[in-house]
Structure 1
Amino acid sequence: MSNLAVLPIIIPMLAGIIVAFTNKNVKITRFLSKLFSIISLLVAAYVTYEVFLNGSIILETGDWAAPYGIILVADQLSILLILTTNIIAATAAFYAPHSLNIKQETHYYYTFFFLLITGVSGAFLTGDLFNLFVFFEVLLMASYALIVLGGDKVQLRESVKYVLINLFSSMLFVTAVALLYGVVGTVNMAHIAERVAEVEQKGILTTIGVILFFVFGTKAALFPLYYWLPRPYIVPNPVVSALFGALLTKVGIYSILRVFSLIFVYKMDITHESFIWIAGLSMLFGVVGALSTNNIKLIIAYNIIPAIGFIIMGIGIFNQDSLSGSIYYLIHDMIIKSALFLLVGVIAYVAGTSDLRKMKGLIHHYPVIGWLLFISAFVLAGIPPFSGFIGKLLLLRGALSADEVVITIIALLSSLLILYSVMKIFIRGFWGEKDDNKTYTKKVSAGFIMPIVCLLAISVFLGLGAQFVYPAVDGIAEYLLDPQIYIDSVLKE
C-alpha cells in the first residue's frame, strides 16, 4: 500500500520519457499524452480515496526508516493538491493539440509538460526539505524549456529574467537548508519539527525560517517579490501559461503552508503576524496591476498575486477557519486560473490580439466564449455561490474571529476590484454593438472549449457542492493545527 505514494511521481516521469521517443510522430504523441494524463488522474483519484479513507500513506524508499531515508508523505493536504494538479494536467493535455503548432509539439513540449507535473507532484509529496529543493529544480528546469518553446524574441527576453530570479532563490534555498541541517542535524521535515519543538525555536531558527519564507515567497510571487511574475507567464503558449499560473506559484505557497504549520510555529509574533501585512499588500498591488493594463493576458497574470495574498492571509491568521479558507481557496484558484488562462488564450486567438482596446462586440460572434468568461469572472471574484466565495467566507470568518479588521476590509475591497478587472474584458471586448469594421472568421473547435468547460464545472461544483468538500478541507485544517500528528505518522512514534 505504501508504494501508492510514489505513483503520482513515477507515472508522469515515465510518460515524459516515452513521449520523448515518439515526438516526431505527433498523432501518437498526442494520443499517449492524453492516455497517460487520464491514467495519472485516475491513479491520483484512487490514492486520494485511500488517504481520506485510511489515513496518510508513508513511503520509506529503500526500506530506510525515517529520518534517514528519502520519505514520501501522501497526507490529506498533499494528495488533494496532487489530485487538483492532475485534473489541470488532463485538461491541458486535451487543449494542447489545438493551441500548439507542429513545431512546438515536435520540440518536446509533451516531454517537458510531463516533467513539470513530475516536479510539482514530487514537491507536494516529499517529506524532507532537501528533496523539496530537488523537485523544485525538476519543475523549474521543465519550465525553463516550456517558457522558450517557440523561440520568439519576447520569450527569450522574459526567460532571462525568470531564470535569473529562480536561480538566485534556489541558491538561497539550498543555503538555508544547509544552515538548518547545521543547527538541527536533519533535513526530514518531521524530524526537524520534533527538534525545533525541543529547543523552542531559538533566534537562529527563526532567522532560517525568514530566509525560507523569502525563498518560497519569491516563488509564490508575494509582495514585494512578485515583480518578476506577470510577463514571463504570458509570453509562452496559452496552455503553458495555464500550467504556470495554476501550478508554479502554488508550489511556493504550499511550501509556506507546510513549513510554517509544521516547523516554525513557535514565534508567530515574528513570522505569522508579518504574513498578514504581506498578504494585504499582495492583494492591493496585484489588483492595481490588473486594473492598470489593457492586455487581457496580463490582467489574468496580475490576478495571481492577490489570490496568493488571500491564501497567505489565512496562514498568517492561523486558526481553523482561516486555514480551511486558505486550503479551499488554494484548490479553487488552481482550477479557475488554469481555466482563465486557457480562456484568454482562445479570446486572443479569435480576436487576433491581446489588446482589449482592439476588441468590440465579440459576443455576437462567439457567445459561448463570452458567457464562459462572464461565469469565470464571478467564480474568480468569489461571488456567491461559487467556489471563490466559500474560500473567502472562511478566510473572513477566521480574520474576524482573530480581530483582524484591517485585512478583512482589504480583502473585501480587493474582491470587488478583482471582479471589475476581469469583467472589463467582458464589458469592453464582448458586450456592446457588433463591430462592422472588423470581421472575425476564426473557428473555435470543441477541443478549445471542452477543457475550459470541465474546469469551470469543477469550480462551480466546489461552490454549489461545498457541503461535500468542506468537511474534508476542515479536517485538513484541524490536522495542520496539530503538527504532532504529522510527526508521529512519519517517525512512527
Structure 2
Amino acid sequence: MTGYGPLVPLPVVVPLLGAALTLLLANRPRLQRAVSVAVLAATLVVAVVLLVEAYRHGPVVVSIGGWPPSVGIVLVADQLAALMLVVSSAVTLCVLLYSIGQGRGDIGESAPVTIYHPTYLVLTAGVTNAFLAGDLFNLFVGFEILLAASFVLITLGGTEGRIRTGSTYVVVSILSSMIFLAGVGLVYAATGTLNMAQLAGRLDALPDDVRLALQLTLLLAFGIKAAVFPLSAWLPDSYPTAPAPVTAVFAGLLTKVGVYAVIRTETLLFPGGDVAGLLMVVAALTMVVGILGAVAQSDMKRLFSFTLVSHIGYMIFGVALSSVAGLSGAIFYVVHHITIQTTLFLVAGLVEARAGSTDLRRLGGLARVAPLLGVLFFVPAMNLAGIPPLSGFLGKLGLLQAGVGTGGVLPWVLVAAGTATSLLTLYVASRVWNIAFWRAPQLVATDPPTRLPTLMVGATTALVALGLVLTVAAGPLFGVTTDAAIDLRARTPYVRAVLPGGAP
C-alpha cells in the first residue's frame, strides 16, 4: 500500500456515510442537499488525486482490514479504474445539481423527495465500488448496491408507467445478477480464489473448454448489464419513463459499469482473444440494430435510449480487437459517451420542462424561443454523431484506425458498421434538430413560456463544457488511455501491485 492507499476506499465510504447522514436529515432538505453536493465534490477530488497517482506511480492498492489479498477485500485504483472514477464523479455531481434545480415535484411526483438523496448516494457508492473492486465477488457486490438503489430511483413517484417499466428493469437485473453469481461460483470452484490478480494466473492453467465456459458465463452477465445486442431489448422501455436526472445518470453510468467489467475481465482474466470473433459480431449488431431503432423513434427519450445501445457497440468493438490501439479507443469512447449521453438526456429533460413534451410530433420552434436550449442540444448531438473535431469524432477515428490496423474480414466489417452507424447518428441528430428546434412552432407557440431553473441549465451547460474539454484535451487523454491499455495488455502492473510477492 502506497502513501495514497488510505484514499482508495473513500469514493465508496464517503457516499455511504453521506447517504446515512442525508437520511437522518430528511426533515431538513436544504442541509440534505448541501451534504449530498459536498459528498460528491469530495469524491471527485479524491478520484482526481488517485488518477494522478496511478498515472505517475502505478496502481494504488489497499487491503481492507489488513487481510491478505487472497482472502480479504482488495480495492485497486489503476489508471482505468481511476479514470472511470473521475468521469463518473463529475457526471454524478452535475446530475445531482440538475435534480436539485428541477425541484421537489419533478423528481418523484408524489414520492417523498427525502429518499432521493440517500438513494442517489448509495447508487454512487455502488458504481465506485464496482470500479475499484479487486475480486469478482466484490464486483458483484458493487453491482448489487447500485442495482438496489436503481430499483428505487427508477420507480420514484409510483406512477403506473414507472412501476410497469421498472418491473421489467428489476426482472432483467435480477436475471443478470443470478448469472453473474453463478459465474462467480463456477470460477471459485475451478480455481479456489476470486481475487482477480490471482485469477490472472490460475485461469491460464485451466483446460481450454472450462476456461471458455467461465468466460462466456461472465460475458453473458455483463452483456445484459451493458445492454449489448441481443440482450438490450429491456433498456429502451425502462429508461425513458424515469425522472430526467435518473434517466440521465442511468444512461451515462449503469451500462458503462457493465462495459468496464467486460474490459477488466477480458484483459486481466481472459487475454488472448478467444471470443474475439463473437465480440466483433455482437459489436456490429449492437451498433447497427441500435441506430436503426433510433431512426424509427418519434420521442426524444426513446430515441436517445436507442443511440445509447448503439454506441455501446463502439466500446465492444475496441475490446474485441484486443490491441493497445483498440483498448485505448474503447476507454476513450467510454469516457466520451458517459459525458455526452448524460448531457443529451438532461437536455431532453429541459425540453420537457420548457415545452411540456419530448414527443417530436408536438415540438417545434425551440431554437427561436429558447436559443440557449438549442445550443445545449446541438453541441453534444454533433459530438455524439462524430463531427470533427469533437471528441466523438476522435474516439471513433481511433477505433476505426485500430480496426484497419488489425486487418481481417471481421474488423473491416466493424469499420464499415461503425462508419454507417456514425452517419445514421448524424441523420438522427439532424432530424431532432430540424423538427424540435428549427421547424415552425407547435406546442411552444401556444403554451405559456416556462422559465427553466438556472441550476438545471447551469448543470447541463457544465456537462456540455466537459464534452468540449474532452475535445481540447484529447491528446493528453489519449495518452492516459493508451498507458492504461498497455498496462491492461501486460497485466503484470496490476498483478504485482496486488500481489507484490507473486501469486500463490
Q: Does 1:469 align with 2:473?
A: no
Output the amino acid matched with 2:239: Y
Is the 2:111–2:158 Cα contact (8 Å) retained in structure 1? no
Q: Report the counterpart of residue 433 of structure 2 in structure 1.
A: 426
Q: CA deviation at 1:197?
A: 2.4
Question: Secondary structure at 2:271's aligned position in 1?
Answer: coil
Question: Secondary structure at 2:61's aligned position in 1?
Answer: strand
Output the amino acid matched with 2:391: S
Q: CA deviation at 1:24?
A: 2.3
Q: Report the counterpart of residue 46 of structure 1 in structure 2.
A: 49
Gaps of 5+ in 1: none
Q: Report the counterpart of residue 231 of structure 1 in structure 2.
A: 237
Q: CA deviation at 1:437?
A: 5.1
Deviations 1:384-411 (A, max 9, x none): 1111111111100110011121110110
- Separation in structure 2 between the aligned mates of residue 153 and residue 205 of structure 1, nearest angstrom: 44
Question: Secondary structure at 2:99's aligned position in 1?
Answer: helix
Question: Secondary structure at 2:235's aligned position in 1?
Answer: coil
Q: 1:136 aligns with which of 131, 143, 168?
A: 143
Output the amino acid matched with 2:27: K
Q: 2:305 aligns with which of 301, 313, 335?
A: 301
Question: Secondary structure at 1:230's aligned position in 2?
Answer: helix
Q: Report the counterpart of residue 323 of structure 1 in structure 2.
A: 327
Deviations 1:114-149 (A, max 9, x none): 000000000000000011111110000000000111
Is the 1:389–1:463 Cα contact (8 Å) retained in structure 2? no
Q: How does 1:212-227 map to 2 (within 5 A)?
A: 212-227=218-233
- Separation in structure 2 between the aligned mates of residue 154 and residue 161 of structure 1, nearest angstrom: 11
How many residue pairs get aligned? The number is: 490
Give the aligned CA root-mean-square deviation in angstroms.
1.4
Q: Does 1:488 align with 2:491?
A: no
Question: Secondary structure at 2:340's aligned position in 1?
Answer: helix
Output the amino acid matched with 1:393: L
Deviations 1:278-305 (A, max 9, x none): 0000001110111111011111111111
Is the 2:23–2:114 Cα contact (8 Å) retained in structure 1? no
- Separation in structure 2 between the aligned mates of residue 405 and residue 390 of structure 1, nearest angstrom: 19
- Separation in structure 2 between the aligned mates of residue 457 and residue 107 of structure 1, nearest angstrom: 30
Question: Secondary structure at 1:223's aligned position in 2?
Answer: coil
Is the 1:479–1:485 Cα contact (8 Å) retained in structure 2? yes
Q: 2:73 aligns with which of 62, 70, 74?
A: 70
Q: Does 1:338 align with 2:342?
A: yes
Q: Report the counterpart of residue 258 of structure 1 in structure 2.
A: 264
- Separation in structure 2 between the aligned mates of residue 375 and residue 105 of structure 1, nearest angstrom: 35
Question: Secondary structure at 2:242's aligned position in 1?
Answer: coil
Q: Report the counterpart of residue 146 of structure 1 in structure 2.
A: 153
Is the 2:168–2:234 Cα contact (8 Å) retained in structure 1? yes
Deviations 1:89-118 (A, max 9, x none): 110121112224255463400011000000
- Separation in structure 1 between the aligned mates of residue 265 and residue 457 of structure 2, nearest angstrom: 38
Output the amino acid matched with 1:378: M
* Cα 1:105–1:57 shift into 2, 3 Å: farther
- Separation in structure 1 between the aligned mates of residue 261 and residue 459 of structure 2, nearest angstrom: 28
- Separation in structure 1 between the aligned mates of residue 433 and residue 378 of structure 2, nearest angstrom: 7
- Separation in structure 2 between the aligned mates of residue 33 and residue 484 of structure 1, nearest angstrom: 38
Q: 1:363 aligns with which of 360, 367, 377?
A: 367
Output the amino acid matched with 2:352: A
- Separation in structure 1 between the aligned mates of residue 174 and residue 417 of structure 2, nearest angstrom: 33
- Separation in structure 2 between the aligned mates of residue 387 and residue 459 of structure 1, nearest angstrom: 7
- Separation in structure 1 between the aligned mates of residue 54 and residue 377 of structure 2, nearest angstrom: 35
Q: Percent identity?
A: 32
Q: Does 1:286 align with 2:286?
A: no
- Separation in structure 1 between the aligned mates of residue 341 and residue 44 of structure 2, nearest angstrom: 19
Question: Secondary structure at 2:446's aligned position in 1?
Answer: coil
Runs of 4+ in 1 over 3 A off after TM superposition: 102-105, 433-437
Q: Does 1:396 align with 2:400?
A: yes
Q: CA deviation at 1:329?
A: 0.2
- Separation in structure 1 between the aligned mates of residue 439 and residue 227 of structure 2, nearest angstrom: 36
In the superposition, the TM-score normalised over structure 1's length comes to 0.97
Question: Secondary structure at 1:59's aligned position in 2?
Answer: strand
